Amino acid sequence: MENKPLLWIVIPCYNEEAVLPVTAPLFLNKINSLAAAGKISDQSRICFVNDGSKDSTWQLICDFARKDPHYIGISQSRNRGHQNAVLAGLMEAKDKCDITISIDCDGQDDINAMDRMVDEYLKGAEVVYGVRSKRKTDTFFKRFTAEGFYHVMNAMGAEVVFNHADYRLISTRVLESFADFREVNIFLRGMVPLVGFPSAKVYYERAERIAGESHYPLRKMLALAFDGITSLSVKPIRMIAGLGAIVSLISFIGVIWAIVQAILGHSVAGWASTTCIVCFVGGIQLISLGVIGEYIGKIYMESKHRPRYIISERTWAPYERHYRG
């Protein structure tokens, strides 16, 4: 029985051949330094999750695994997206370690924050969120849209930790409970807080990407926000109902006004007012149908019960779990 927690660092990778040779040694150094400090077991691992990359990412992961046993990797059968890749790594690690830390492989998240994350875990926290303290390296547009993302998410009823992405420590105890969440539409930033358990925050400064190109442009950020809102909250539906009630009230008042004007003989035929009303109501109806359709589409996808990820290859043979005493 070991007294030191066994850690898996889970790192999703998609077309990262440019950055992996730079960041992989950094993760290995961090594992070794944490083990040397007596904070984690020396049997801890770095788990790369290949998310259907089209370049040499998987070959690089296999090369790392052959050179050092701390490196391991799993490969998905096809690209399923960042959130599914992180989930695949977490579920793979669930029965083989005591704690996991998920982090992107681009080097932007400060890996030295892992020391404080492990410290918080040893103090009793089951979930430790890595939170960006500053965005000095971001452009004004990037900073505005990114921070607006969190404000909109919370305003729409999806409770997320402000300025927290997917850099977090999760204990196996939390992962075992999280495994009961079976939805296909995954938004980990909003789902992990729903599990509960004691949590803490560790603040760090986000750096620029070390190499390669970002795989999360504004288009994907907006899609992620919309998926998160519709997966975690019914507030948009309630807003539509409220808007419908307001429009109906205004329309009812308008009908009364039109009848009164007709009785008084003040009515004047005009196409402009009619056109404006028709366009306004028609626009509201189309937007409402679109939002409702999004929810129906998610119900349709959930009803299929398709697997959220499929692992096609591993770089190691399964081994017994090392429990923390």
In a shared domain, residues 133 and 277: no
Question: What is the model's pLDDT at position 9?
Answer: 92
In a shared domain, residues 142 and 196: yes
| Neighbour-count burial of 205, counting CB atoms closer than 10 A to its CB (0-12 exposed, 13-18 middle, 19+ buried) | middle
In a domain, 136, yes or no: yes
Give the mean model confidence (pLDDT) for residues 300-314: 69
Q: Which of 152-156, 288-292, 298-302 has the highest mean pLDDT?
A: 288-292
In a shared domain, residues 249 and 192: no
pLDDT tens sequence across 84-125: 888 888 888 888 889 999 998 887 888 888 999 999 999 988
In a shared domain, residues 67 and 184: yes
What domain count does the chain have?
Answer: 2
In a domain, 2, yes or no: no
In a domain, 1, yes or no: no
**Could you tell me the CATH number of the domain that includes residue 117?**
3.90.550.10
In a domain, 246, yes or no: yes
Q: Between the CA of residue 183 and those of 101, 137, 160, 175, 205, what are the distances in Å?
A: 22, 35, 18, 15, 32
Angle at which helix 235-264 crosses helix 218-232, to 10 degrees, equals 90
In a domain, 319, yes or no: no
Question: What is the model's pLDDT at position 17?
Answer: 85
In a shared domain, residues 118 and 264: no
305 CB-side CA count, 13 A: 0
Higher per-residue pLDDT: 321 or 48: 48
In a domain, 222, yes or no: no
In a shared domain, residues 194 and 149: yes
Q: Is the pLDDT of residue 221 over 70?
A: no
Q: Between the CA of residue 5 and those of 24, 38, 138, 164, what are the distances in Å?
A: 22, 10, 35, 24
Q: Is the pLDDT of residue 66 over 90?
A: no
In a domain, 228, yes or no: no
In a shared domain, residues 121 and 263: no
In a shared domain, residues 190 and 288: no
In a shared domain, residues 195 and 68: yes
In a shared domain, residues 21 and 106: yes
Question: Minimum mean pLDDT among 61-75, 213-227, 298-312: which range?
Answer: 213-227
In a shared domain, residues 19 and 138: yes
**pLDDT above 70 as % of the chain:** 63
Instruction: For the chain, report the end-to-end CA distance as a whole number of angstroms.
Output: 5
In a shared domain, residues 36 and 161: yes
In a domain, 87, yes or no: yes
> Domain range holding 248?
235-304
Q: How many CB atoms lie within 10 A of CB 325?
A: 7
